[in-house]
Every structure is written in C-alpha cells, then in structure tokens.
Structure 1
C-alpha cells in the first residue's frame, strides 16, 4: 500500500486521530462540571446537561428529572461565556478532526502529504488546539450563572467552584488539545515525504 507519510508521519497520523477523538468526545459529553441538586447528581457540559429540576404541579414540589440532553436552543445555554465556549471549542474540534482524517488518508494515498502540506496541517492543528484551549479557559467564566449556582451550593462564582468539581470531560478535551498543539504540531513538520522531482 502506497503511503505519503514517513515513519514519523505514521506516528503523527495515529496521535492526531487520538487527540482529535479525545477532544471531540470530551466536548460532546456533559461531564465538564459535576455537582448535586436535591440530592441528585447533576453535570454540565458547554451545551448539554444531565439532571434538571422540573416543577411538579400535582404535588406542588420541584423534582429532578434524571436525563441527559442538550439545551432546547442556543440562547438557552446558561451564560454568554458558555455560548462562546461552545462555538470556539466546536470549531477547534472540527479542525483537529479534519487534520486527523487527512493524516489517516495519507497512510494509504501516495503523494497526498508533502512536507509543505504536513507543515500546513501542523499549523491548522496548532490553531485548533488554541481554539479549544481558549474555550476551556472561558468555561469557568460561566460558573456565576443561576443554574450552576443552584447546583454548586449557591457558592460558585467565576473561577470559584463552590461545592462542585471539574469533571473528566473537561480534562479530556483540554488534554487532547494540548497534545495536538505541543506534540502533533511538531511531528507534522517531519510527517511528509520529500516530493519526487519530475524532469519536465
């Protein structure tokens, strides 16, 4: 099978896929922030949530519905910071996935990835990682929203968790982005084979 990648390029393709998968899975999962409300576990992502309170009119009480789902609309996301975080992180994940799939195609298609293309792909990975990193940095700015405060013992504020804790999905997203920025970007510079010079 013809390949346009060097041995380093093969490692880059595999690592790019793993980084993109980690970031995308973490971004989609609603386990960025973990807390409890009415003695039930509650978790938040940037655009999804697990367990939410609903008013039961027949009993005149508030009950927790233990389901995961995304917010009904973009405007329903609890804070402007989380809305920006959703867009920025989503774009970053899209870029990482695009490069990862291109790199994997380079394993089986000859002359797809030259040295120049590899360096451009590395630059795109760096940008994707930077966008995801920005999203992760913006996320704590939304901890002062009413929904989060109810879940975190009314003690949370920007960059203050209250009784909540950061979940595995936040680390998964940020870790994938950091590895893409620091390792994949560097490996991409050595990923493509030197193009053959044709005599015409």
Structure 2
C-alpha cells in the first residue's frame, strides 16, 4: 500500500524545531550558570592565587583576603585573614579586589535564585534579568583580577617572593590555579550572559494567518470561500452567497380581517353578512 504524500508547512516545522532547541539550550545555560557559581565561590575562598616556587626566598601562598606564611619559628604555613577585619588584609588594593570578587559571587548566586521566576514570569524577562546579572558579575570579577596584582607591593609578599616583588611583578613567586580559574570564570560569565540575552530576544511570537481576499465583480471580500456552493455568477462575502435580489416586506391589509389565502371563493361565502368583501390580506411593498 503506497503512502500518501504529506504536506507540512515549513514555517511550522521551523518554529517547532526552534522551540525544542531553545529549551535544550536554556537547560544547558542553567547548568553552566551553576558551574560558574561554584567556580566563583571557590575562587573567592581559596588562598591559592599566587605562591612560592622552588626559587623563592621563602614559603607561602596568598589569596584575595587570606595569606598563608610560616610562623617565625618555622613549620607549616598558617593561613590568616578575616573578611570582617580589614586590618588582616595585605593592603588597600587587596581589600578592593576582595570586594569586587565578593560582589561577583553575590550576583551569580542571586542569578541562580532568579531562575525560580521561570515558574511565574515570561522566560524572556527572566533571561534578561539573569543575563545582565551575569554581565555585572563578569565585570566585577575582572576588576578583582586586575586589581589583585597591585597588592603584591607589600612586605609580606617580599618576604616570600624576594625584594624584586612589586606591582604586577611576582619576583620569585608564581601564579596558582585559583588565579587561572578566576580568568576562566570571567570568560564563562561573558558567554553565559551573551547566551541569556540572545535567548531573551529570540522568542517565538504567535503567527497570525492573514485572511484570504476575494475579488468578484469589482467588490473585495475577506473570509473563507467554499467554492462547492458558489456558481460562476455569485460573489462571496465570507461563505455566504450574495444574490442580486431586492428585499420585499409583507404587510397585512389594515381594513379587513385576515383569512387563509388558500380558502376557495364561493358565492355563499362571498354574499355572507358576516364577511367583508374579499381582498388580498397581504400587500407587498418593494424597498
């Protein structure tokens, strides 16, 4: 048995495919946003932004707000530093770098909370909100990364990295994995923000099909035409046939009682004392 060919509207197929793909991309966007939040938190709390190498003068490692250096008596490095005590920071650039990195972390956590708005608001609105949050989060993290090397001009850093350590110069130390993870986080946030803004603007709008227009005898009609009920001489207004007929109004005669038009006239009924003269009970008025 041969299969009958099926005719499918290409625009409908495109809309269905796009809706399916956009949902899949939206799910991936949410997953990678969660990954970026984890990266941001790890970068903020880990004291592994820079540290000693084999050629370093001393032993130690530094983060945004923590420093891990050995005690005066030697031994394993001890990490010190508190977020609520600015005196424990290396210097003012370290405080500024910590503040901006903290703002970046707070923004991405708020972005994850805003994902709950998908159940109450339009997806385009939520993508707009989260996209701009990710933009500001990436900017704040980038500022923290750029300001952090300014904090290397401090006595604690020179004790570990040597006297050549200064602004944007590590001396005998080297960068650690947390610094590179922060750089990756910036690029991740930029890509996620761009993807969110694209998903916010590329929403499907309901497609309105225009009504067909028919022209007959110089007249224009809109609506659906059923040609099975229309002849060549008839015009269409919707699905009703328009005929060239004048309307007629039927009015009863005002002076006589009405009676059946189908009753027969007889001599007896005509001469009856109880009946008036016969006349047409209905008058036709043509408008």
* TM-score under structure 1 length normalisation: 0.79
5+ residue gaps, structure 1, are 55-61
In structure 1, the partner of 2:40 is 23
In structure 2, the partner of 1:50 is 68
Q: In 2, Cα distance between the equivalents of 1:52 and 1:155?
A: 20
Aligned mate of 1:9, from 26, 35, 43:
26
Count of residues in Structure 1 that have an aligned counterpart in Structure 2: 182
Q: In 2, Cα distance between the equivalents of 1:34 and 1:113?
A: 47
* Shift in Å, 1:35: 1.3
In structure 1, the partner of 2:231 is none
Of structures 1 and 2, the one with the larger relative CO (CA 8 A, separation 6+) is 1
Q: Does 1:70 align with 2:87?
A: no
> Which of these two proteins has the greater Rg computed from alpha carbons?
2
In structure 1, the partner of 2:102 is 90
Q: In 1, Cα distance between the equivalents of 2:143 and 2:75?
A: 32
Aligned mate of 1:100, from 112, 116, 119:
112
In structure 2, the partner of 1:57 is none
Q: Greater helix share, 1 or 2?
A: 1
Q: In 1, Cα distance between the equivalents of 2:152 and 2:56?
A: 19
Please provide the CA RMSD for this pair: 2.8
* TM-score under structure 2 length normalisation: 0.57
Report if aligned partners of 1:6, 1:191 keep a CA contact under 8 Å in 2. no
* Shift in Å, 1:145: 0.6
Report if aligned partners of 1:32, 1:170 keep a CA contact under 8 Å in 2. yes
* Shift in Å, 1:40: 6.1
* Shift in Å, 1:191: 4.4
Q: Does 1:121 align with 2:133?
A: no
Deviations 1:87-146 (A, max 9, x none): 11101111012113433x46xx53445202211210111011100100100000011111
Pair 1:92–1:44, CA change in 2 (3 A): same
Report if aligned partners of 1:19, 1:179 keep a CA contact under 8 Å in 2. yes
